[in-house]
């Protein structure tokens, strides 16, 4: 196995849509369960933050007339829906899981406290941390970076549908160049849109390494944990 004992996995809400245009594709949900189970059953402590863009995106809501604060609150609720769905699917797949929420929402989840999330992981449960940061104007990328620091994760794994960070959009530009490794400073200077700036600074200031990889390819998550060089690794210089 690699050097990682505890990881924070960031998943986008859009990834749960699969081939659908909205909501949750149960085939994709089952796929994620298999991938998460592959590392959990090897003793890796797993925390997860998942977005809500498959249901509602706060910034998109403001374009349609929603107040930004209310829109972001709706987005937070969307992450809770996705988290409960993932918890249910994990438990059906034989993996214990707990949902923690940034604001009090019992009985749908336990109010998040880092020590409770760490205790859950140490006891063999996956900790799914929902509700963003609990505050408007912050993305789930920022929530993922913050929670990763709080639970003392060894690495933040950002699962995407591409195999790393490129100098331009590889889905639109076939000549795009992939980076295998970057420093946070290099990524910032190159203007690479990896995470929002707040999340990026949190990772840099807390010396939290970040790996961006293709979560949609079977076996990639386990391969990363086992030390295979996949995706793009970003760390302090």
pLDDT per residue as tens, the chain (237 positions)? 568 999 999 999 999 998 888 999 999 999 999 999 999 999 999 999 999 999 987 566 566 677 889 889 999 999 999 999 999 999 999 999 999 999 999 999 999 999 999 999 999 999 999 999 999 999 999 999 999 999 999 999 999 989 999 998 888 998 999 999 999 999 988 888 889 899 999 999 999 999 999 999 999 999 999 999 999 999 997
Longest dimension (CA), the chain: 50
Domain 6-235: give its CATH architecture. Answer: 3-Layer(aba) Sandwich (3.40)
Query: In 3D, which of 172, 176, 204 has the Cα closest to residue 189?
Result: 204
Contact 157, 224 (CB under 8 A): yes
Cα of 24 vs its chain's centroid, Å: 16
Q: What was the pLDDT predicted at 56?
A: 86
Environment class of 237 (CB within 10 Å of its CB; exposed 0-12, middle 13-18, buried 19+) = exposed
pTM of the model: 0.94
Alpha-carbon gap, residue 53 to 130, rounded angstroms: 13
* Structural domain boundaries in the chain: 6-235
Instruction: Say how far apart CA 23 and CA 99 lie, in whole Å.
Output: 19
DSSP codes of every residue in 115-179: HHHHHHHHTT-EEEEESTTSSTT--HHHHHHHHHHHTT-SEEEEEESSSSEESS-TTT-TT--EE
């Amino acid at each position: 196995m690699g050097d990682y004992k505890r990881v924070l996995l960031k998943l986008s809400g859009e990834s749960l849509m699969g081939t659908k245009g909205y909501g949750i594709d149960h085939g994709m949900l089952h796929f994620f369960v298999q991938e998460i189970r592959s590392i959990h059953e090897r003793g890796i402590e797993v925390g997860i933050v998942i977005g809500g863009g498959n249901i509602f995106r706060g910034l998109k809501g403001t374009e349609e007339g929603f107040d930004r604060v209310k829109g972001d609150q709706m987005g937070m609720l969307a992450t809770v829906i996705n988290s409960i769905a993932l918890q249910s699917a994990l438990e059906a797949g034989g993996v214990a899981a707990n949902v923690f929420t940034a604001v009090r929402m019992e009985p749908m989840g336990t109010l998040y406290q880092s020590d409770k999330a760490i205790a859950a992981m140490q006891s063999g449960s996956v900790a799914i941390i929902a509700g963003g940061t609990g505050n408007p104007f912050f993305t789930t990328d920022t929530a993922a970076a913050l929670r990763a620091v709080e639970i003392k994760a060894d690495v933040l794994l950002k699962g995407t549908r591409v195999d790393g960070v490129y100098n331009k959009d590889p889905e639109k530009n076939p000549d795009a160049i992939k980076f295998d490794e970057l420093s946070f400073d290099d990524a910032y200077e190159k203007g690479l849109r990896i995470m929002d700036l707040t999340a990026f600074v949190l990772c840099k200031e807390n010396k939290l390494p970040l790996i961006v990889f293709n979560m949609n390819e079977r076996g990639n998550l386990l391969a990363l944990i086992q030390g295979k060089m996949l995706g793009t690794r970003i760390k302090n210089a």
